[in-house]
Structure 1
Amino acid sequence: MEFADLDIPEDGKLAHNIVHFARALRVAGVPVGPGRVIDAIRAVEAAGFTERRDFFYTLQACFVSRPEQRRVYAQLFRLFWRDPRYMEHMMSMMLPSVRGVQEEKAAEAAEKRATEALVDGAKPEMPEREEQDGDEIEIDASATASGDELLRTLDFEQMSNAEMAEAKRVLAKLELPVPPIKSRRMESRQIGRIAQRATIRSSMRKGGEIVRLEKQDRRVRWPNLVVLCDISGSMATYSRIILHFVHAVANQQGAGWAKVHAFTFGTQLTNITRHLATRDVDAALKSVGHEAQDWEGGTRIGQCLHQFNRDWSRRVLGQAAVVLLVTDGLDRDDPANLARAAERLHLSSRKLIWLNPLMRFDGFAPKAQGIRALMPHVDSFRAGHNIASLSALAAALSRPDDRGERDRMMAMLRADGPGSSGTNFRA
């Protein structure tokens, strides 16, 4: 991270500015209480301003207690302390510029939440227009999209606080039903095929007289759902919202799953299944955060999949389990080891579905070594960056032949040839 000179207020009221900065953090979703504010003021007095980096990390040590809060903190610190015209900058982001046409651009991660926290209800001043008799303003809304439709297609990483809260409410109601699996075993039914042997056995109790025909049909069983969720630095925002979705599925009645198992992985594999049993989603994810110690860390997909195959596959992949792999595929390990672990996982599961947030890019191509190693061993390859993609997943589960974008990605891999294994993805 690069640091510029800090703009220390001319009036010298540094303590007041730290209080305002803490208030902005609180609005952005970082729990900062009065005790932390006092500690921050005392820490800054002790550290001084000899090093700009010390000031950044001094306040971070006092205000940030969880890895996922670092991104919002960094955005707020950059806008509040480094740019003296941060309010003007924030206003220009909230609305198009009045002075001219401003090209729209996607906000950076956590920038919308930082914007809302800093402006905190303020509105940019708009030039007054003199009203004249007979003036009418006509608005053509035929090509506009509704708020619900925009929310469904908005990238999770570009959502504001309010949009993220609304997205969580939508995902809590989203269903992920699964069709039952018909077993080869038979069982007695009121309606079905005639069971000859059962009918004869029943007639022997009546002296050989057939009183009624016994019926039977194939036994129905329900599969398990196993979710393997990447919580590395590049996946933190998406993993958090997808775990909200998984929690809703795990606590949903009548969805059809025999049991929902969930694991997180970054540099290590963590079983979080028991935490998802907590009915309150905030309490459940808080306990998940305490359990998984590698949030926003590195990525070792091959090693974690190997650990899952070795320690957990025999326990949770029974009943023809469906495996949901949530990762961007950007791995630091040897791609050969990743390919072997993915092949073993694929052979142990009934269906392996890969959700990749990188599919949000229109020009996405399988160029990274980890993506190239994983792609041949999945049954379906789908996007997982917004509500619409998760809704499409629910519809795809009912189609056993669904492959998503896998066939197109495999065609691109074959076109590149076996010798092409670049380390970067194209977007």
Structure 2
Amino acid sequence: MTAVLAADAALLGFARALREAGVDASAERVYAFLCAVEALGRVSDVPSSDTRPGPGMRADVYWAGRLTLCGDRDDLERYERVFAACFGDGEPVGRRPAPAPVPRLRLVLQDVESERRTPASDERGTTPTAALASSAEVLRHRDVAGLDTAEREEVRRLLAAFALHGEARRSARRRPARRGEVDPHRTVRELLRRGGEPARLRRHTRTERPRRIVLLVDVSGSMAPYADALLRFAHAAARGSRTEVFTIGTRLTRVTREMAHRDPDLAMTAVAAAVPDWRGGTRLGELLRAFLDRWGQRGMARGAIVVVLSDGWERGDPELLGAQMRRLHRLAHRVVWANPRKARPGYAPLAAGMAAALPSVDDFVEGHSLAALERLAAVVRGAGDA
């Protein structure tokens, strides 16, 4: 029973990662997914006289999720990416092998000793798929600063499946709709097409579009253990058309163009070449003022969701940082601060820079792990609170 519950938890974690990637995996779809996996698991476990082998657990999970969790053509690419991140690349289960033109019988010699299995190996919870998903679920809550090389590589694969969307807002543009205000132009054109005969009233409603997201990523020395993960999180967010990315340290560098590479490793290489102040000091107040003077005041921060990913250590004047944060708060729709140090036991925002900035912050969240970044994405999307 424990192994089955662990497998279900791993599958729920996979569905949660799909939702974070932008797939509309509703509760009904997730329930259908779990039922399909259970049904396929029972079929694959029952011995059959058919000479064809039953599908493996990984293929069962793949096809069950693809047929129940994906509701749009755009979901397929996201599904492939998240599935590879959670369960590993393995064989390309997404492509069915071509059938052989002429079936042939072949004699297979089996070792009797290899067929002997221990009771533990018969449990469903020990399948490779459940083990991989469980390890990914545990890794989600690990502090990025304490990971080894292999775990960091796994975190990078999981971060590649992220998607960050800003909170939706109503725009001035309108679109045809069944309900809403009467559209006089379309209604008159319909009357003219009918020769003046009465026609159905045409209606329209305002469209919604996500707000612009501005990410300010601290790459100073105190943030070195988290800089790579946060920049890869920013790269996943930059796949949206309304996301701007800056690095802050001793200088302010706009790296939106470097983040445009689809490959995360190429993007990180381009960012490393463009940023001259890796692992330096931190001048948050001066750099925030530079951002507002050059970009924010002119419109980039107006109505946007500005996310500062920093531990709040400030070498400059804290009063300057507080004044610029108040200025930013007046321009932006929301100001979110993600601090990796917030998750540590006994943490309190007593650093001068953090204490000066906090009164102008709408949401103060953690940023030390994948789970914390998922919560940050929910806050930015307007679906969760800190």
The TM-score with structure 2 as length reference comes to 0.61
- CA RMSD in angstroms comes to 2.6
Conserved? CA contact 2:214–2:304, under 8 Å:
yes
Q: Which amino acid aligns with 2:270?
A: S
**Match for residue 282 of structure 2 among 299, 306, 316:** 299
- 1:327 aligned onto 2:290: no
**Alpha-carbon distance between aligned partners in 2 of 1:339 and 1:278, rounded to the nearest angstrom:** 35
- What's 1:97 paired with? none
Aligned to 2:261: 278
Identify the residue that residue 58 of structure 1 maps to in structure 2.
none
Structure 1 unaligned spans of 5+: 1-136, 252-256, 405-427
- For the 8 Å contact 1:188–1:214, the answer to whether it is kept is no
Higher relative contact order (CA 8 A, sep 6+): 2
**In structure 2, the residue corresponding to 1:303 is in which secondary structure?**
helix
Structure 2 residue ranges without an equivalent (≥5): 1-119, 126-132
**2:384 maps to 1:396:** no
Check conservation: 1:186, 1:216, Cα contact below 8 A. Answer: no
Assess, with a 3 A threshold, how the Cα gap between structure 1 residues 207 and 230 changes in structure 2: closer, same or farther. Answer: same
1:197 equivalenced with 2:193 (yes/no): no
C-alpha distance in 2 between matches for 1:281 and 1:399: 26
Alignment match of 2:139 (pick from 144, 147, 151):
151
1:126 aligns with none
Q: Which of 226, 231, 243 does residue 214 from structure 2 map onto? A: 226
Q: Identify if the C-alpha distance between structure 1 residues 319 and 370 changes in structure 2 by more than 3 Å, giving closer, same or farther.
A: closer
Structure 1 stretches of 4+ with a deviation exceeding 4 A read: none
| 1:140-177 Cα distance to aligned partner (Å, 9 max, x none) | x9xxx942233112111111000000011011112323
Match status 1:370 vs 2:358: no
Q: Which residue of 2 aligns with 1:169?
A: 157
Change in 2 beyond 3 A, CA 1:193/1:260:
same
Aligned counterparts of 2:297 and 2:379: Cα–Cα separation in 1: 26
2:157 corresponds to which letter in structure 1? R
Between the aligned partners of 1:225 and 1:389, the Cα distance in structure 2 is: 18
Distance 1:260 1:193 in 2: 31
Report how far residue 212 of structure 1 moved. Answer: 2.2
Q: Aligned to 1:358, what secondary structure does the other structure show?
A: helix
Which residue, out of 311, 324, 329, partners 2:294?
311
- Contact residue 267 and residue 299 of structure 1 kept, 8 A: yes
State the alpha-carbon separation in 2 of the partners of residues 299 and 178 from structure 1: 27
- What's the secondary structure of 2:151's corresponding residue? helix
Q: Report the number of matched residues.
A: 257
CA shift, 1:187, in A, is 2.0
Alignment deviations for residues 79-134 of structure 1 (CA, whole Å, 9 cap, x no partner): xxxxxxxxxxxxxxxxxxxxxxxxxxxxxxxxxxxxxxxxxxxxxxxxxxxxxxxx
- Normalising by structure 1, we get a TM-score of 0.56
Greater share of residues in helix: 2
